[in-house]
Amino acid sequence: MGFHDFVLLFCSIWCVFFVGSCSAQLQSSQTQVLLQLKKHLEYPRQLEIWRDRWTDLCSISSSGQVNVTCKDNFVTELSILGDKPTKGRDFDGFAIPNQTLSDIFSMDSFVATLARLTGLRVLSLVSLGMWGPLPDRFHRLYALEHLDLSSNYLYGSIPPKICTMVNLQTLGLGDNFFNGTIPNLFNSSSNLSVLSLRNNRLKGPFPPSILSVTSLKDIDMSSNQISGILQDFSALSSLEQLDLRENKLESFLPAMPKGLISLFLSRNSFSGEIPKRYGQLNGLRKLDVSFNALTGTAPAELFSLPNISYLNLASNLLNGPLQSHLRCSSQLIFVDISYNRLVGDLPSSLSTRSETRVVMSDGNCLSGSAQHQHAVSYCTEPHVKKKSYRVGIFVGVIVGILLISVVLALAIVITCKKFFLRGVSEKHLLHKTVQDSSYAPGFSSELVTNARYISETAKLGREDLPTCRSYSLEELKEATNNFDNSTFVGENIYGKLYRGKLESGIQIVIRSLPVSKKYSIRNFKLRLDLLAKLRHPHLVSLLGHCIDGVVGENNETNVFLIYEYVPNGTFQTYLSGDSPGKVFKWSERLSVLINIAKAVHFLHTGMIPGFFKNRLKTNNILLNENWMAKLSDYGLSIISEEADACGVKGESPNSWQMKMLEDDVYSFGFILLEALVGPSVSAKREAVVLNVMASFNSEDGWKQIVDPVVQATSSKESLFVVISITNKCISPESWNRPSIEDVLWNLQYASQIQATADGDHRI
């Protein structure tokens, strides 16, 4: 037997005897994703068994806390049970030490990583301290059949796109902090069988679309603030468990399917009589309608249902006698009819002396052996408050309050008139408050004057920088040696730039620009205060301003804006090769793009309705001493009219780069294009750029136009993710462009692919 024959025989025997372990071995990219998830979750002790990328994570025996199941080299099940406490309900949207993950945790980044486990069918991440809104992109886990994210600190709306996960059978989002209304998530084609939204802060009506999901077996929406009227549930032929207790529902009790096993409707505001059809639910084992406002008699049929074991009718307005020969099911072990308006004798079948059945009947008007009862008159008199003599008093109080309010209002109006006539002659404090073309549509005086509408500000504040304040002109002159020519940095459409140094030693950049004539100084200060509240790690921070009545060449008032100094120049400089000291390889370019995408996402969502028209260009991306990217010139459209009036020197205001400046995603597309091919190509005419984008679709085409540095340092898969999203961003049709959130997700995905490829090369 030759050597080659021997090797072939050995390999065949190896595969026969070790096929189990061979088939279970994960792809390196899947292992890398799991290790990245471990990092995102901040290395919980439950995942200490995931040591490194050489550990066979599929072969580790499952425990009660961690389970990884694999098939065909892909992860199909991931279950992690953490130990983060969830008892505290004082969560306000920020990280809590020892309860949630830290304030650097990002649910967006976590889900972006998780979405790479495309074969995942079962996902259970319970009590891990995850916090933040649940990203809409969760639907990218299209193969999921069972999803459980209960007992975390997730808040915001439930993503509507979950309804596109057609394979989903179990959805568990209970014990979180979701708020808002429940969207119409599902339709008749859904395969959902278990839906748990218990113990959240959900409001609004019960979503009627759920009533079309005939596959549902278990619905739990208890302990929320769901209100309104319930419709007929009888179409849900598979429904076995329904729990809507502790909400604000106020309809009559709805019809239920015959196969129902457990029904919990306590602590709502249901009224009317208990439907007779409930006495025909022969599969019913548990019924709790306590703490409502139900009236009428207690249906005898409920007590004799063949499978009933738990019956709670307490704290309602049930009245009349119980049947003297009431028959109880042999399965019935708990009955509570206390605190109603029941009269007559307590039936012998409900004797409190029974050893096999617990019966609670206090607070009624029962006779015989029943204890702690009211007098019969308490239950027979109409329990309507005598309001007649109180109505007059009530009306009198209301009229008195109205008169006093009118007098006070007149006094305030007169006082305000006298005050404002002294100095403020504007019709409104904020000119064109609702649809001012100089800033995002929807800004109102309330939004401009009320800083609490800024989200994330406290969490993302820069502790290494001073808070924004007003500076005197003398301080700025001292910082710049009286605006000496040596401190002059440059000029763009927003005005001149100077570099300086404060007395505290902090280096700054000062921008001088004219104040728009349509704003008063007081109005302008409000807008500056709003801009100053935008603090984010990837935004160049506004440190202060000076508007001490400086007069410009045309008798106009100028304002000086003081920004932090960012030392390493613009991203465009390095992409064009004008700075010989640094070459940005592909992974570094991705890092810059992700940083700026995060900044733009913050500008869009950090305030309602958001800052748009942010003049996104590579020469507005600055790099600090650690090569972290920061966006400059953002939000200036709310204080300057120049952006709409003209372009940068040499750039026509009607040029194709400028004509859709209001669409940040469109502008960001050209930043992506420059990162791929360099600024020389992206600065050409529109037709040329469109031809360039068409070249990406051919093998030879993209190799001819993509920057050689990018080609030499990127994996093809990572590169094509960015090319794809770039194509979408610069689509001529605005409806076809992605959201900035989708752009960020794709960039993070491309970065993770590249990190995996770089790791493989290092092995």
Domains 1-228 and 250-383 share a fold: yes
481 — alpha (psi -120 to 50), left (phi > 0) or beta?
left
Cα–Cα distance for residue pair 42/30, rounded to 1 Å: 19
Structural domain boundaries in the chain = 1-228, 250-383, 445-565, 570-763
H or E stretch covering 726: helix 716-729
Task: Give pairs for 100-105: CB < 8 Å, separation 24+.
Answer: 100/129, 100/130, 100/131, 100/153, 101/41, 101/42, 101/128, 101/129, 101/130, 101/131, 102/42, 103/459, 105/40, 105/42, 105/130, 105/131, 105/132
Q: State the average pLDDT for the chain.
A: 78
- What's the confidence (pLDDT) of residue 608? 55
| Of the options 3.90.226.10, 3.75.10.20, 3.80.10.10, 3.40.50.150, the CATH number for the domain spanning 1-228 | 3.80.10.10
- Residue 463 is classified by DSSP as T
Residues of the chain with pLDDT > 70: what percent?
75
3-class SS at 148? strand
Most confident of 96-105, 182-191, 267-276: 267-276
Give the range with max mean pLDDT: 144-148, 397-401, 504-508: 144-148
Query: Which segment of 133-137, 590-594, 732-736 scores lowest on mean pLDDT?
Result: 732-736
- pLDDT of 169-208, one tens digit each? 999 999 999 988 887 767 767 889 999 999 999 999 999 8
| Residue count (the chain) | 763
The beta-strand segments (E) located in 189-312 are 194-196, 201-205, 218-220, 225-228, 241-243, 248-249, 262-264, 271-273, 286-288, 293-295, 310-312
Is 50 exceeded by the pLDDT of residue 488? yes
E strand or H helix at 396: helix 388-420
Query: Are the CB atoms for 631 and 703 separated by under 8 Å?
Result: no
CATH number of 570-763: 1.10.510.10
- Predicted confidence at residue 26, as pLDDT, reads 63
What would the two tokens of residue 262 be?
């457990």
Average pLDDT of the residues in 107-115:
88
**Is it the case that residue 642 has pLDDT exceeding 70?**
no
- Distance between terminal CA atoms of the chain? 36
In this prediction, residues 346-364 reach a mean pLDDT of 83
Pairing relationship of beta strands 153-156 and 507-514 according to DSSP bridges? unpaired
Q: Does domain 445-565 have CATH number 3.30.200.20?
A: yes
**How far is C-alpha 509 from the chain's CA centre?**
35
Q: Using one digit for the tens of pLDDT, what is the confidence trace for 509-519?
A: 998 877 666 66
Most confident range, picked from 185-189, 193-197, 542-546, 694-698? 193-197
Enter the CATH code of domain 250-383: 3.80.10.10
Lowest mean pLDDT across 321-325, 353-357, 412-416, 723-727: 412-416
Compute the distance between CA of residue 681 and CA of residue 696 in angstroms, rounded to an integer.
Answer: 13
Name which residue leads in pLDDT, 688 or 241. 241
Question: Which of 240-244, 482-486, 537-541, 548-552 reaches the highest mean pLDDT?
Answer: 240-244
Amino acid at 139: H
Residue 508 reports pLDDT greater than 50 = yes
Query: What confidence score (pLDDT) does residue 698 get?
Result: 64
- Token representation of residue 505: 């030693």
Q: What 3-state class would DSSP assign to 744?
A: helix
d(CA 276, CA 253): 11
**Res. 700 pLDDT band, cuts 50 70 90:** low
CA 346 to chain centre: 54
The predicted-structure confidence for 382-397, as pLDDT tens digits, reads as follows: 754 333 334 445 555 6
pLDDT band at 84 (very low <50, low <70, confident <90, very high): confident
The whole-number average pLDDT for the span 280-284 is 95
Region of poorest pLDDT, from 121-135, 289-303, 541-555, 664-678: 541-555
Q: What are the tens digits of pLDDT across the range 10-54?
A: 444 433 333 343 344 567 778 888 888 998 999 998 888 887 777
- Could you give the CA distance from residue 463 to residue 18 in angstroms, rounded to a whole number? 57
- Exposure b/e, 631-649, CB count within 10 A at least 16 = b: bbbbbbbbbbebbbeebbe
pLDDT reported for residue 390 = 44
Does 154 or 138 have the greater pLDDT score? Answer: 154
Q: What's the per-residue H, E or C state across 291-305?
A: CCEEECCCCHHHHCC
pLDDT score for 152: 94
* Highest mean pLDDT out of 13-17, 354-358, 375-379, 756-760: 375-379
Residue 83, SS3 per DSSP: coil
pLDDT-based confidence at 319, cuts 50/70/90? very high
**Statement: residue 651 has pLDDT above 60:** no
Residues above pLDDT 90, as percent of the chain: 30
Using CA atoms, how far residue 564 sits from 40, 334, 532, 544, 570, in Å, is: 31, 70, 12, 10, 15
Answer yes or no: are the C-beta atoms of 505 and 430 closer than 8 Å.
Answer: no
Check residue 591 and give its pLDDT: 93
Beta-strand pair 507-514/495-501: antiparallel
pLDDT of residue 87: 60
The Cα–Cα gap between 260 and 275 comes to 15
What is the rounded distance in angstroms from the CA atom of residue 38 to the CA atom of residue 29? 14
